Structure 1
Amino acid sequence: MQAVIGLLVMMLGASYGLETYCDGRQDGAQCFGPLGGTVVLQLMDRASERERYKLYKSSDKTTLILTVINNKIFNNAIKSRSLFNLSDGTFRVNNLSRTDSDEYPFEIRDNKGIKENRALRLTIQAPVSSVRLASECLSQGEKRVSCSSGGGDSPQYSWTLDGRSLTDTELLSVNTETNSITLKQHVSGAVACSVRNNVSRFCAPPTTISDSSTVGKESTVSINPRTNITSWNQTVTPLSEDDPWYITDHSLLVCGVRAAVVVFALIGIAFYFAWKNKDYKKAEGSAYRPEREHQDESVVMVEM
């Protein structure tokens, strides 16, 4: 259920729960409110019973928003989504929309007439909803890190390395169009990106960059098991006795020797049994001949 609600909020682009504060006690104050959220405008320190206050919308004062006389609220054109606090002089406006962006003149009168006349500018901005950080290793060993945000009006991007600002010795270039930076070859550490505008700020989880790291499309390193050749820099590392592929080669040799020994053993056994069989037949023949000679002699003696 929570996932469905979160999805609906993202689809609608709402930012309920976000709140900004603006001190409008100075003429020409620039105020910002989150789209769908709340802005708190500080119009005065507190309402006075001896003064009358009027808040208008638009510079020509065509729309009267708020009227306070003798510490009492007589008119509030947007009372369904706003609240004026007499004790601290703040005007809270909820459920902000794009149409709320405008200039708001504010008048303070006393018994002698207009005591003060000033105006504030309110601008409604969509807050940043998400940030995505991606990085890749370039052909010469430089690292390109890009940052993208979801939603948000007039986003501003900033970068840090291990929690501090990047220096000229670490930064090769900055591309404001693609919101990416290119780091020099020797740079390593945790790179983070934060995106902000006047109503919100969003930070992406840092990504770790090392001298030998390869990330993104360039990061896939394929190793040839025979020569250990890496596809991105074509460096060759000779095989050693500790190399697992080196051990595999010896294993194949041992298997071949063992197979040869088995074959020779089988041949030897075959020759042995053949020889035994021949010797047995020879012995059998020798035993048969004396019996026949004895029989012949018996026959001769009978005839005699």
Structure 2
Amino acid sequence: MEAVVALLVMLLGVSHGVEIICDVQQEGGAQCYGALGGTVILKMKDRSPARFEIRKNHRAIFRWANNNVSLNTIENRSLFTPSAGTFRINNLIKSDSDEYKLKISDSGGMTLLDQTLRLSIQAPVSSVQLVSKCLSQGEMRVSCVSEGGDSLQYRWTLNGRTLTEDKLLSGTHETDNITLKQDVSGSLGCSVKNHVSDRETVEIISTCGFIFIDCIDSNETHISQWVFAANNTLCVDPTTKAPDTTVDPSLICGVQTAVAALLFIGIAAYFAWRKNKSQRAEGSAIPRAREYPETSVEMV
């Protein structure tokens, strides 16, 4: 028997598509997914069953009993391995999506497994790329374009983190088209996946060349908007408001008065110092009278 199984493996070969293992012993029924053109392996039990039957849409497509296959409507695409308790379906096609009934019994006819399996075949995503376009006000429209794939789910990232709503003008991080705000730049990534594939692409994006100006122009008009930097003539400094350079005349007058007063006080202090110094010099030049003239030598 093992030689027959080996021969079937050689004849069928190995699928070049995605291979997915599905455990059909889940409580309440199993939901399995297979990749279009790939392989799904139905995992049942780790021992050889005495009887095994698969029904698709209430019609039998496979039967195993007494170590022999008595029915197999997909013989050219399937392989049953009793010792491993697995049933392999290769080269999956869309029509394989359906509800299946799997029933395993022992040699005495007692049911060991009676399970419902819902199998869904999805096309895998083959490639992903970003397509961007600058809009009139500097916004950037970005589309996540993928080839192939069914029931796709999208996820956007910016610099390795989930793209947050404050970076978006429209869309969400779970849609295929988004509109970024004018100042958003960095490493933008988009991942596309379904139950049988997952692909991602990352590109470095820069702004569309717009800047936000908030200023007062020469006509005393307040301007606050996004403009294309290369053609901007609205403000001298497009990043800040123009400063008010008008000086109050009373302030100038007060400063001038204070300066004049300080100058006058300084001159007066200088001349007083000179006068005091001169008087001290004259006093030191006159001989001081003796306290007792009658005893002095000069009087004698």
Instruction: Measure how far apart 1:199 and its partner are.
Output: 1.9
Partner Cα separation in structure 1 for residue 189 and residue 174 of structure 2: 18
Distance verdict in 2 for CA 1:174–1:74, change over 3 Å: same
TM-score by length of 1: 0.58
The secondary structure found in structure 2 opposite 1:169 is helix
The question of 1:68 aligning with 2:64 is answered: yes
SS in 1 for 2:183: coil
> For 1:18-37, what aligned pairs fall within 5 Å after superposition?
18-26=18-26, 27-37=28-38
| Distance of 2:47 and 2:138 partners within structure 1 | 62
Q: What is the Cα deviation at residue 112 of structure 1?
A: 5.1
1:54 to 2:53 alignment: yes
* Structure 1 counterpart of 2:45: 44
- Which letter does structure 1 place at the counterpart of 2:24? G
1:241-279 per-position Cα deviation (integer Å, ceiling 9, x unaligned): xxxxxxxxxxxxxxxxxxxxxxxxxxxxxxxxxxxxxxx
Amino acid aligned to 1:55: I
Amino acid at match of 1:107: K
TM-superposed CA distance for 1:189, in Å, is 1.0
Identify if the C-alpha distance between structure 1 residues 177 and 121 changes in structure 2 by more than 3 Å, giving closer, same or farther.
Answer: same
Distance 1:117 1:67 in 2: 14
The amino acid across from 2:133 in the alignment is E
Where 2:166 maps in the other structure, the secondary structure is coil
- Cα deviation, residue 213, structure 1: 5.2
What secondary structure does 2:95 align onto? helix
Classify the secondary structure of the residue corresponding to 1:99: helix
What CA RMSD, in Å, does the superposition of the two structures yield over aligned residues?
3.0
Query: Contact 1:53/1:68 (CA < 8 Å) preserved in 2?
Result: yes
Find the residue that maps to 1:88 and give its secondary structure.
coil
The alpha-carbon deviation at position 191 of structure 1 amounts to 0.6
- The one-letter code of the counterpart of 2:190 is C
CA contact (8 A) 1:146 1:178 kept: no
Q: Point out the structure with the larger helix share.
A: 1
Aligned partners of 2:31 and 2:119 also within 8 Å: yes
Confirm or deny: 8 A CA contact 2:154 2:174 kept in the other structure. no
Seq. identity, %: 51
| SS at 1:17 equivalent | coil
Q: Any stretches of 5+ residues in structure 2 without a counterpart?
A: 1-14, 211-226, 235-300
After superposition, what is the alpha-carbon deviation per residue over 1:39-85, rounded to whole angstroms, capped at 9, x for unaligned?
1121223324xx42211111x2x2x2332335654443322211112
Superposed counterparts of 1:1-304, under 5 Å: 16-26=16-26, 27-48=28-49, 51-58=50-57, 60=58, 62=59, 64-69=60-65, 73-110=69-106, 111=108, 113-174=110-171, 179-204=176-201, 206-211=202-207, 232-233=228-229, 234-236=231-233
TM-score scaled by length of structure 2 = 0.59
Aligned length: 202
* Deviation by residue 1:181-201 (Cα, 9 ceiling, x = unmatched): 122233221111121222222
Query: Would the aligned equivalents of 1:139 and 1:232 in 2 still touch at CA under 8 Å?
Result: no
The 3 A distance-change label for structure 1 pair 66 and 189 is same
Q: Which residue of 2 aligns with 1:247?
A: none
Counterpart-to-counterpart distance in 2, 1:70 and 1:96 = 28
**Relative to 1, partners in 2 of residues 1:144 and 1:74: Cα closer, same or farther, differing over 3 Å?**
same
Q: Which has the higher strand share?
A: 2
Match of 2:61, as an amino acid?
Answer: I
2:154 & 2:195 partners in 1: Cα distance?
12
